[in-house]
Amino acid sequence: MGAIIWSLQNCINSILDVVVIKTGLVINDEYLVELLKEEFPNSYFDRYQESTDLGIRVRSEDFDMYCWKIRKRLGEMENISPLFVQDVEKCLEWMDQGIDYVGCVQQILSLASEQFDPENPQLVDPRPIIEKMIEEDKYPFEVIKQGFDDLIHQQQMSNNITPTEEILWDGGISLEDLFKKEHIPINEDEFIDQKYINFLQANPNELEAMHWRNFERLTAEFFSRQGYEIELGPGTNDGGVDIRVYNKEDKRKPYIIIQCKRHKESNEVKIETVKSFYADVEFEEAGKGLIATTSKIAAGGKKVVSIRKYPLEFAENKEVVEWINRMCKRNV
């Protein structure tokens, strides 16, 4: 593998360019350096504050690992799997059957290059390639599909930014916004951007630090994905009801009303809050109420619900983390 001599600042800038475009999350170099120092202790990243002009020798495989580790920390990648062939045993089995898997991949690349226009870079449409290869009947469909899957995986793992990726780049979203202010997704059908969900799945400890309004949006998104009709409150002066959840077949009264409490994990939701919210459930004539929190419900609050048979449920930190796990979507 080759190596390049860089200043430390140039190395950081190059990693940042890759990470921001690949993850879609905009971060600054200070945050990136902190992550690199955590992932690679006792490295030259520890000296960033002293001298950004420090000359360093970076091998290509090291640069890839720097990028992969940060992409994983930001939630874009679940596993670091740089191998081109994802199912080696299957490919060996095909070879024993006389099937040329490498030849199949080479033909896919050849047909894709015919479709690609360097003057107008666009995503390659796989359908005509698959149709042509099936018509030729040289390779089984399973082999063709695996070839496409491996090529796509290689592109997703790559830390090279293609012309198509540059053209399709939408500018990303600021990671800082998750913590500092309400972020409204461009897609009107979403309550919170998927990139934030993926980040929180990779960093559940950051849940308590997110902006309280984005926690309401996260909760609304979860119930929306369960097939319910969602009414997200204004965020202030909402009478204690942050979200109303309706069955799509019956919208006369809320099926669930939700109060969200974005607290530090050590800050429990008190019994007084639980009692007060029960009154809201009764007033709204809702089927039940739910208090969703990034912390815990005080023991007294749980006890009063149990004794008085209040139609209240709780989603504490553990349950909210499970929501995020269920909503997480990744390509890599």
For the stretch 271-313, pLDDT in tens is 999 999 999 999 999 999 999 999 999 999 999 999 999 999 9
Residue 118 has pLDDT above 70, yes or no: yes
Overall average pLDDT of the 214-239 stretch: 92
Distance in angstroms between the alpha carbons of the first and the last residue of the chain = 24
**Residue matched to tokens 């793992």:** 157
pLDDT at res. 164: 82
pTM of the entire predicted model: 0.91
Rounded CA gap, 66 and 319, in Å?
A: 32
pLDDT at res. 330: 82
Burial grade of 254 (CB within 10 A; 0-12, 13-18, 19 or more): buried
Asked if 178 and 319 sit in the same domain, the reply is: yes
3-state SS, the chain, equals CCEEEEEHHHHHHHHHHHHHHHHCEECCHHHHHHHHHHHCCCCHHHHCCCCCCCEEEEEHHHHHHHHHHHHHHCCCCCCCCCCCCCCHHHHHHHHHCCCCHHHHHHHHHHHHHHHCCCCCCCCCCHHHHHHHHHHHCCCCHHHHHHHHHHHHHHHHHCCCCCHHHHHHCCCCEEHHHHHHCCCCCCCCCCCCCHHHHHHHHHCHHHHHHCCHHHHHHHHHHHHHHCCCEEEECCCCCCCCCCEEEEECCECCCCCEEEEEECCCCCCCECHHHHHHHHHHHHHHCCCEEEEEECCCECHHHHHHHHHHCCCEEEECHHHHHHHHHHHCCCCC
Asked if 96 and 206 sit in the same domain, the reply is: no
Residue 77 has pLDDT above 70, yes or no: yes
In a domain, residue 195? The reply is yes
Residue 328 has pLDDT above 90, yes or no: yes
Residue 242 has pLDDT above 80, yes or no: yes
Cα angle: 300, vertex 304, 308; to 5 degrees = 175
Domain count, the chain: 3
Asked if 157 and 179 sit in the same domain, the reply is: no
CA distances for 270 relative to 275, 278, 282, angstroms? 9, 13, 19
Residue 49 has pLDDT above 90, yes or no: no
Residue 114 has pLDDT above 80, yes or no: yes
Q: In this structure, what CATH number is given to the domain that contains residue 314?
A: 3.40.1350.10
Residue 145 has pLDDT above 90, yes or no: yes
- Which residues touch 186 (CB under 8 Å, ≥6 apart)? none
- The most confident of 61-70, 146-155, 167-176, by mean pLDDT: 61-70
Residue 1 has pLDDT above 80, yes or no: no
In a domain, residue 83? The reply is no
In a domain, residue 332? The reply is no
Asked if 220 and 300 sit in the same domain, the reply is: yes
pLDDT at res. 221: 98
**Amino acid, res. 42:** N
Asked if 180 and 160 sit in the same domain, the reply is: no
Rounded CA gap, 105 and 99, in Å?
A: 12
267 confidence band (pLDDT: 50, 70, 90): very high
**Residue matched to tokens 């670091």:** 80
- For 101, half-sphere exposure in the C-beta direction (CA atoms, 13 angstrom radius) is 23
Strands 243-246 and 256-261, sheet pairing: antiparallel
Rounded CA gap, 127 and 131, in Å?
A: 6
Asked if 199 and 302 sit in the same domain, the reply is: yes
What is the extent of the structural domain holding 116? 88-166
Residue 123 has pLDDT above 90, yes or no: no
Cα angle: 60, vertex 29, 215; to 5 degrees = 115
Residue 38 has pLDDT above 80, yes or no: yes
pLDDT at res. 52: 85
pLDDT at res. 332: 64
Rounded CA gap, 175 and 161, in Å?
A: 21
pLDDT at res. 300: 96
168 confidence band (pLDDT: 50, 70, 90): confident
In a domain, residue 81? The reply is no
Of 221 and 167, the structure prediction assigns the larger pLDDT to 221
Which region, left, alpha or beta, applies to residue 308 given φ > 0 means left and ψ of -120 to 50 means alpha?
alpha
pLDDT at res. 230: 96
Asked if 60 and 94 sit in the same domain, the reply is: no
Asked whether 239 and 227 are in contact (CB, 8 A), the reply is no
pLDDT at res. 237: 75
In a domain, residue 79? The reply is no
Asked whether 191 and 185 are in contact (CB, 8 A), the reply is yes
Asked if 110 and 236 sit in the same domain, the reply is: no
